[in-house]
A and B are shown apart, each in its own frame.
Chain A
Amino acid sequence: MGHLAIKNLSKVYGDPDETETVVALRDVTFEVPNHQFCAILGHSGCGKTTLLNIAAGFEPPTTGSIAVDGVPIRVPGWQNTMIFQDYALFPWMDVSQNIAFGLEMKGLPAHKRQEFTRHYIDLVGLDGFENKFPHQLSGGMRQRVAIARSLAVQPHLLLMDEPFAALDAQNRSFMQDELVRIWQREPKTVVLVTHSIDEAIKLSDCIAVMTRRPGRVKQFINVDLPRPRDEDDKSYLQLKRHLRALIHEEVEAQRS
């Protein structure tokens, strides 16, 4: 469950009758097969977050369609849940309450909630932190809670908005490995927005490189490097060089 299909998707901000309109996305089309990890890579302001917001159901598309398993996405819900850059943990709930929130909203009985919460605390490695509040945790820990909270509702589509951008380099690299480990144990269709080329290559099965505004898919690349990905591998470096050239083109074009 979780085949994402985006077809001719456009997003225009502002009144279409007025001249003051901003075209954030134009004619975006791509598909992410079930249980694949897809990165959307682009320079800042290319509309990648807009795309994610539409996929999460926070905003409607202006034209085009977006659907998971043929069911169009219209409103936010547990089927297409999102992980935020600033974690967005509920500060008045401890770790297990945060994870159980979505389960409660789904209407699961208490013993089921407890069972699921336990499972996901173990999965993300938060053993012993169940009763800590978010402000007592480090950035990496908080993102673990956010990942567990989103996975617990069993989404068909998991969306991530630069989830590790607020972490320091070492923590980020560690959390990327952790994310791959968790994803391999609980496969989900994931769409991750990032501006980091390394993050995209390290994590994804496919990468959609976006153009500058109005955002389109410049190139859709399937990454078939073996996991875990070795940063010194020849084909890794080759892909990295290729992506860097693509991004560079867009930055240059934006400047001129």
Chain B
Amino acid sequence: MRLQFSIYREHCVEKARLIGKTNWLGAVERRPAYQAAQRGQAGCCRDEGGLRRTRAACKVGTERDVGGSHGLKGIAMGWWRLVYNQVNPIMEILRPIPPLAWIPLSILWFGIGDAQNQFIIFLGMFFPILINTIVGVKNVDPNLVRAARSLGAPEYKVLSRIVLKGSLPQIITGVRIGLGVGWMALVAAELVGANSGLGFLINDARSMLRTDTIVVGMLTIGLVGLLIDTAIRTLGRKFLPWSLALSK
């Protein structure tokens, strides 16, 4: 019954789109690029638009803190074989499930709103950071670890001063990929289960047939994504000047 209804609804939406098609094309023609840009500017100036973007960025931001704990988990998994053997099978089963496939469950658990979105971002960021951290830890030059021990470093100092530092470039790569996936997942999660945010904005604009808003929303998503990535890379270069992986 429900399925039938949803198919019916899709049908109606499609029909409406077809009816509006001439209008839609016409709308594009009638609105030159500069007008769309103007609208984008206006959107940025309006508090509402700004708020949406900040909120979206905040969502990814809070998830990055959680991402830090993924890193710790990754270090444990990369360093202690026992931890790896115990945790890895579970991870390998969960990993192939795309974050987007969690959206229905996430909506049921957290309802429509920020908590739901954050859960999806968390899932999107989790595995890239985890796997890159494990690889990073395993790739730390074993001679550096031996050198540190040979200079009298106790085990926890070896971990904090050598293993963590040595795997940081790879962890940053994980964070970059993770943020990319997280950003993607955020927008997707907002498309279906949110009442604010950029994803919501462009989906909302679709139902109003506001192509300009959609395009401006898409460009904003792209720009913010680029900004986040550039910021991380710049920070990486600034704080890890010795890393060959980050220098180019």
- A, B: real partners: yes
Do B151 and A153 have beta carbons less than 8 Å apart? yes
CB distance from B21 to the nearest CB of A (A): 59
Q: Interface size class for chain A?
A: 20 to 34
A47 within 8 A of B: no
Residues of B within 8 A of A133 (CB): 241-242
- A76 near B150 with CB under 8 A, answer yes
B95 within 8 A of A: no
Contacts of A149 in B (CB 8 A): 151
Interface stretch of the complex, out of B77-85, B141-149, B195-203:
B141-149
Task: Assess whether B143 is in contact with A150, with CB atoms less than 8 Å apart.
Answer: no
Nearest Cβ distance between residue B215 and chain A, in whole angstroms? 44
Q: Would A78 and B152 be within 8 Å (CB), given that A133-B241, A133-B242 are in contact?
A: yes
Q: How far is the CB of B163 from chain A (nearest CB, A)?
A: 11
B143 touches A76 (CB 8 A): no
Tell yes or no: B153 within 8 A of A by CB: yes
Which residues of chain A come closer than 8 Å to B161, judged between CB atoms? 90, 101
Inside 8 A of A106's CB, which chain B residues have their CB?
152
The CA-CA distance from A105 to B149 in the complex, in Å, is 10
Additional pairs, 18, CB under 8 Å, beyond known A84-B146, A105-B154, A133-B241? A56-B150, A58-B149, A76-B146, A78-B151, A82-B150, A84-B143, A86-B143, A88-B144, A88-B147, A90-B162, A92-B166, A92-B168, A101-B148, A101-B153, A102-B151, A105-B157, A150-B150, A153-B152
Q: Which residues of A contact B (CB under 8 A)?
A: 56-58, 75-78, 80-82, 84, 86, 88-92, 101-102, 105-106, 133-135, 149-150, 153
- For this complex, 15 residue pairs linking A to B, each with C-beta atoms less than 8 Å apart, are A76-B150, A78-B152, A80-B150, A81-B150, A81-B151, A81-B152, A82-B147, A84-B147, A88-B144, A88-B146, A90-B162, A91-B243, A92-B240, A101-B161, A102-B151
